[in-house]
Chains A and B, each alone.
Chain A
Amino acid sequence: MSNCGTRNSIIHGWTSPRLTRSLAGDGSGKACGIFREKSAVIPAFRRSESARAGDLVEAVTYSDDDDDENQGLEFPGGRVTFTPQMKFIAESTDNRVPCYRVLDNNGCPIPGSTFDQVDKETAVKMYRKMVTLQIMDTIFYEAQRQGRLSFYLTSTGEEAINIATAAALTPDDILFTQYREPGILLWRGFTLEEFANQCFGTKDGHGKGRQMPIHYGSKEHNFFTVSSPIATQLPQAAGAAYSLKMANKEACVVAFTGDGGTSEGDFHAGLNFAAVMEAPVMFICRNNGWAISTPISDQFRSDGVVVKGQAYGIRSIRVDGNDTLAVYSAVRAAREMVITEQKPMLVEFLTYRVGHHSTSDDSTKYRSSNEIEQWKTGRSPISRFRKWVERNGWWSDEEETELRKDARKQVLNAIQVADKTEKPSLEDLFTDVYDSPPSNLVEQEKSLRETIKRHHQDFPSDVPI
């Protein structure tokens, strides 16, 4: 096999939290977008010389005590105590892991619940954004049905997860989402125009028309571009968190996945590596019951996703994803732990995917309309939170009507404008493949432009040259 051993090389080992805290670094905590400053000093920690082949490593001393050895033994990985009883760990417990909830179905705080108090300004902002997200989803979905968009994917039923999570984080926290989390961008200030421009692939969009709809990305909002392959963002989030850890910032990485994503190999790799590297990343699983047409019963046989945390040595919690206050409090607490303890956390939100998987799906083919309706009207996170906000005297019917009317108008306007906006120009076909354009692409662009000049009438009129 490969014998390319390294001598005198400087290799980053995985540090313990103790070491990390003693390092100097740019702790200013100021926002610097997705890219750290290239010139930032990376603390040199644990430079190690790798052992030459054949050198003995420090031997582990084992206890010679006979009595001791009958009680337990230090195997690789730690000491275990012995038992003469042959006992299997049951594949499931009688009681499932309980689910943290603050507000009941009527939006009343459950007596004895612990949660972070939310002030009027934050609560109203959260509610407004949840409604806006819902309206944005409805209208964009319709636009696709009308043929104005090629594709769309809604977050219907998961507005609380989207908005309350975003509210609980800071702008410095870095997002690696799946695709059902645009509410986070909405909270952070991404405008309806920007959403529309990405979906319509216009020249004003950040994406330069490179990606299919809903694959948003924003450097200034610390939101990594949505990537289609499922769960690939999980080990990437761990890697980014590793890099963040070295930067010693008071921020964390947050990575989303659905219930389906937990069946991917990358889920295992991402969580396992994050645990071993003690990377400051919060893994959030939106367990919404369906992975396209695959129900939970076909997805895994464990007690959901929360129990998988312990398998990796990761602290975890199960939360009612349709309870805005529970989501907010849990994310705030988890974030605190991730940052101070510099280790990963796993949060499982139980919720329901009210909409179809995407515009390419008709979920009535594999689930009953009754089930959908029950969750849509009977257990809407928006209605539940609205009741709490209204009960506090912070919201009224008039404001509701006005909000819905305004949001609808703004979304429709954004779509109309984007639909008419110019598409990206020809040069955007060739840029960004590499950092600087290679000679073959330069030649191809030149050749293409010459062809267009000669056969102008054959070239599509809606592509600006």
Chain B
Amino acid sequence: MLKNLRRAVGAIPFMRNPALASRSYSVSVKQMMVREALNSALDEEMSADPTVFLMGEEVGEYQGAYKAGFTGLGVGAAYYGLKPVIEFMTFNFAMQGVDHIINSAAKTNYMSSGNINVPIVFRGPNGPAAGVGAQHSQCYASWYGAIPGLKVVSPYSSEDARGLLKAAIRDPDPVVFLENELLYGESFPVSKQVLDSDFTIPIGKAKIEKEGNDVSIVSFSRMVGFSLKAAEILAKDGIDAEVINLRSIRPLDRSTVNASVRKTNRLVTVEEGFPQHGVGAEICASVVSDSFGYLDAPVERIAGADVPMPYAANLEIIALPQVDDIVRAAKRACYRSVPLSATR
């Protein structure tokens, strides 16, 4: 399954995107894995600012698994002038330190009337990986996305990873940085501008990965890749999809999403997390509230199945959104009749 995905991602013509082609900075474009993008960003930020430091499970010198402990430690260090980057092996484990993230990091600037700011970054893999079961597969985007005082971002490409991580480290507010384990090994083209040590991406701004006119597909992280693949398939059927990469969960770029829906009149949201109270639910509410008159069809929400993630590989595939699900949802939004079984 992974091999197919890699092939699919590699086939997506980034540079053919008209919006991007006008911004080619160099003739030969470097390929960079997301892992490398994150590491290079961390390295550069730590070199530039000695108050930035890393702490986490099995970070650097094989520290241990003491998440509640070092989460609190990081918050305390941030209170007193350092800029910690706290790494969780996965955000599932962050639940053991979530009180520090929410009740301390997120709320302290407000509760201390601006006297104590918390320039901390919490990062790590979020959402499902492959075959790791229920306690290692949850997506926390909507949980953290609900909290005022936090900023929450979720990169897709290497450009996203570099720019958003640098922005997160430089941000005076606490940032939850949701990565995806399966994307670590993915390569993306990066321009010279992206490789610059001062390259940042504004937090709170979505990116239109592919422009289109018929239906807006909104997602984040790994599902952006799936959405782009779905857009390719839809193009063959004459449906010109617009694919939006949210990049930020909080603040949510409502204006980009709404502008898109006002253009296409149809919306599909895609996420790996559980459906109830998910990111898609918030996007749907925003669009219904701000662009109701522009909708020509009900909003389609694609999300993970409403069950704890099963372990068996075949069940895991069914429990997560696949490209076909996105294609079907887009067709439904376009009022095309869709057979129940998946066809290509």
Contact = CB atoms under 8 A, between A and B. Distances in A.
A99 to B, nearest CB: 30
A206 B99 CA distance: 24
A272 B69 contact: yes
Q: Chain A CB within 10 Å — which of B116, B151, B171 has the most? A: B116
Nearest to A46: B61
Interface string B100-123: 100110001111111111000000
B75 interface: yes
Contacts of B173: 434-435
A2 B125 contact: yes
B125 A433 contact: no
Contact of A4 (B35, B80, B109, B114): B35
Contacts of A433: 109-110, 148-149
Given A9-B46, A11-B60, A34 B80 contact: yes
Interface string B68-84: 11111111111111101
Interface in A30-52: 34-36, 38, 40-42, 44, 48, 50
A225 B46 contact: no
Interface in B131-180: 148-149, 151, 171-173, 179
B68 A217 contact: no
A293 interface: no
A239 B184 CA distance: 30
A5 B181 CA distance: 12
B109 A238 contact: no
Interface string A228-250: 11001011111111111011000
Contacts of A455: none
Contacts of B148: 433
Contacts, number: 196
Most A CB contacts (10 A, CB to CB) among B42, B70, B74, B113 go to B113
Interface string B197-239: 0000000100000000000000000000000000000000000
A219 B109 CA distance: 12
Given A434-B109, A434-B149, A435-B173, A9 B60 contact: yes
A416 interface: no
A76 to B, nearest CB: 13
A206 B87 CA distance: 34
A432 interface: yes
Contact of A210 (B71, B113, B124): B113
B136 to A, nearest CB: 9
Nearest to A9: B43
A272 B90 CA distance: 23
Interface string A47-80: 0101000000000000000000000000000000
A90 B179 CA distance: 49
A143 interface: no
B111 A225 contact: yes
A235 B68 contact: yes
B251 A35 contact: no
Name the residue among A10, A265, A273 with the largest chain B CB count within 10 angstroms: A10
B24 interface: no
Contacts of B79: 34, 224, 236, 239-240
A463 B172 CA distance: 30
B81 A2 contact: no
A273 B116 contact: no
B69 A48 contact: no
Which of B38, B69, B76 has the most A CB atoms < 10 Å from its CB?
A: B76
Given A4-B38, A6-B42, A432 B113 contact: yes
A439 B252 CA distance: 10
Given A210-B110, A217-B112, A273-B70, A6 B104 contact: no
B103 A234 contact: no
Given A9-B42, A42-B50, A236 B72 contact: yes
A227 B72 contact: no
Contacts of B72: 232, 234-236, 238-239, 266, 269-270
Interface stretch (B15-23, B51-59, B257-265, B326-334): B51-59
A240 B76 contact: yes
Nearest to A13: B61
A440 interface: yes
A268 B73 CA distance: 12
A176 B77 CA distance: 13
Interface centre among B115, B117, B254 (most CB of A within 10 A): B115
B89 interface: yes
Please tell me the size bucket of the interface on A.
Answer: 35 or more
Contacts of B82: 243, 246
A249 to B, nearest CB: 11
A435 B75 contact: no
Contacts of A38: 51, 81
Contacts of A28: none
Contacts of B69: 235, 266, 268-270, 272-273
Nearest to B149: A433
A207 B113 contact: yes
A270 B100 CA distance: 13
A199 B256 CA distance: 43
Nearest to B52: A10
B99 A435 contact: no
Given A11-B59, A42-B50, A227-B104, A236 B76 contact: yes
Contacts of A208: 113
A7 interface: yes
A219 B79 CA distance: 11
B31 interface: no
B39 interface: yes
Contacts of B75: 235-236, 239
B209 to A, nearest CB: 23
22 contacts: A2-B124, A8-B43, A9-B46, A12-B53, A12-B54, A34-B115, A38-B81, A44-B50, A206-B113, A207-B111, A210-B112, A217-B111, A225-B115, A225-B116, A239-B84, A243-B77, A243-B80, A247-B81, A265-B68, A269-B73, A432-B110, A438-B251
Interface of B: 35, 38-39, 42-43, 46-47, 50-51, 53-54, 59-61, 66, 68-82, 84, 87, 89-90, 99-100, 103-104, 108-117, 124-125, 148-149, 151, 171-173, 179, 181, 184, 204, 251, 254
Interface of A: 1-13, 34-36, 38, 40-42, 44, 48, 50, 174, 176, 206-208, 210-211, 215, 217, 219, 224-225, 227-229, 232, 234-244, 246-247, 265-266, 268-270, 272-273, 428, 431-435, 438-440
- 4 nearest CB pairs, A to B: A239-B76, A235-B72, A269-B69, A236-B76
Given A1-B90, A10-B46, A207-B112, 10 more contacts: A8-B43, A11-B53, A206-B115, A207-B111, A207-B113, A227-B104, A243-B82, A247-B81, A269-B70, A432-B114
